[in-house]
Amino acid sequence: MNRAKPVTSLRRPAVLAIAAIIMASGAGTSLAADENHRGVSVPAHAAAHVSSGPVASSPAKTAAETAFTQVLAGTYYSVGLRADGSVWTWGRNLYGELGLPGTSAVGSVNSPVRLVGLTGIRSIATSGSGYQLAVKDDGTVWEWGSHLRNSTETLPPRQFPLLTRVAQVATQHAVNFALKQDGSLWAWTKDVDTGKIGQPFEIKHTGKYVSLSVAGDTAYTLDDAGSLWVIRAERQDHRLNVLPPVRVSGLPALKQVTGDFSSGMYGIDRSGTAWKWSLTPSAASYKLSGKPIKLYPGLKFKQAASSGLTMLLTEQGEVWTYGKGPDGKEGKVNGLKGIVALSPGSRHALAIDAQGQVWGWGANQWNEVGGRRNSQDGMEYAPKRLQIPITVKVNGSLLSSSFPATMSGNLINVPLKDTAKALGAELKTPTTADGGMYTLKYKDTSVDFRPGYNEVDINGKKVLLPSPITAENGATMIPASLLKQMGFTVTWDSKRSELTITGA
């Protein structure tokens, strides 16, 4: 067999070339929760992290089902929501952050993986440390990701059964909040040592909330008048005390808010002006520490986002950093235009453009930007487009796999073991005695091959693949075109980025 030789270098008559047939087109009385009724101990390690990113505000510009509408930058990993209601994850997975099946062998993935079991999702939220929540179109809540503290155990997607008619969620893993469709706000705890979930309870308030964000154990909400309210949760032994909502005076009417009162908050008022302010707790209230500061006067903004990195999105679709960005500079981020939503994490940032494409930059040690690490320092200093997310369906069902299908040039590769299992094909893995040879058999067709080579034997006949068998993300990958040679029906829908494989 030939090892990773260019296809054009072998022209022997005895070797048949497989064409590139899978092509791409492209203070007061507090509310208490005890461990037997409403909650359990909340560990002190919960990070101060913005837990939900705004949904792209211009879905009409991204009519394709494959357009992303929301992205979240966690710590060394990323989560994305598409217009078709599917959820995708990529980046580090050492602690089960991604919610993938069989994650013990998957340290990270460099391309988006679709989560099987999540459909019809409306919005997503992350703790930033690996735990995620989502809201479906029917108002139900779902959870997945890092399940327990200091554990590699993952929680695959499952429904959170204690809440319905939810519009938005926010999470810090141990403390969680939900904004219902009627404008009411609810809270609950999760013990990250045992996984036990506390009963959700309503945080009483006479007004109606229209938005929700969270940092640490504090929720920040806006009412329909644009007023900011702070709801502080205090953890004492096995109890969670939620203080009554407090309105913050001295701010303009806001349409969006983000940040953490301990380190600084940011918001966009209804005229598009960006503001920064700090809060000081005082008895049963929160007061401004000095006057709010206008950021970049003269520019009009529609989103502020802060989680380690602080970024602002203008009404024209430009991204600006306040403080140093991933490239060590402050100001406008070059290489981006027409951006409709963004999400900075502590070390990397993500943005969605008007076509629904995702761009990432910053730290990429674990492929959290959404592409292979290309630099020695593990950084992407300029925005880079996310690798194409590929849906794989086998015999009419989504492929359940911890490994993504990937595209190289115009060729698509699929994870060998999971694809073979879904197809009902027999797979013999290598032993020391057979020199690393794989054998894949389906009905009367048998294929022998070795990773790193672009020649295979199909029923004893040498066949040249368009690219070598490779290992990626810890999985052996095979060209989808090889499956067609074996008698499977293989089709590619470029509009939906969907690969369909059907057994004969």
Q: What are 491's strand-pairing partners?
A: 500
- Residue 472 φ then ψ, to 5°: -145, 135
Q: What are 457's strand-pairing partners?
A: 448, 462
Chain length of the chain:
504
Spatial contact of 309 and 325, defined as CB atoms under 8 Å apart: yes
Spatial contact of 304 and 268, defined as CB atoms under 8 Å apart: yes
pTM of the model: 0.86
Spatial contact of 358 and 111, defined as CB atoms under 8 Å apart: no
Please report, as a single letter, which amino acid is at residue 200.
P
What is the pLDDT, as a whole number, of residue 256?
96
**DSSP secondary structure string, 79-96?**
EEEETTS-EEEEEE-TTS
Please report, as a single letter, which amino acid is at residue 28.
G
Three-state SS at 496: coil
Token code pair at residue 356: 């629904």
β-pair type (87-92, 108-114): antiparallel
What is the pLDDT, as a whole number, of residue 433?
64
What is the pLDDT, as a whole number, of residue 184?
92
In sequence order, the 6+-apart residues with CB closer than 8 A to the CB of 395 are 422, 423, 501, 502, 503
pLDDT, tens digit only, all 504 positions of the chain: 544 433 333 333 333 333 333 333 333 333 333 333 322 222 222 333 334 555 554 444 444 789 999 999 999 999 999 999 999 999 999 999 999 986 556 789 999 999 999 999 999 999 999 999 999 999 999 999 998 887 888 899 999 989 999 999 999 888 999 999 999 999 998 888 888 888 999 998 877 899 999 988 889 999 999 999 999 887 666 677 888 899 999 999 999 999 887 779 999 999 999 999 999 887 778 899 999 999 999 999 999 999 889 999 999 999 999 998 888 889 999 999 999 999 999 899 999 999 999 999 999 999 999 987 777 788 999 999 999 999 999 999 999 999 999 998 889 999 999 999 999 999 999 876 666 899 999 999 999 999 999 999 999 999 999 888 988 888 999 999 999 999 999 999 988 999 999 997
What is the pLDDT, as a whole number, of residue 337?
93
Please report, as a single letter, which amino acid is at residue 494.
S
**DSSP secondary structure string, 405-436?**
-EEETTEEEEEHHHHHHHHT-EEE---TTTTS
What is the pLDDT, as a whole number, of residue 237?
67
Q: Largest Cα–Cα distance of the chain, in whole Å?
A: 86
What is the pLDDT, as a whole number, of residue 235?
67
Which residue is it, tokens 């429904």?
159
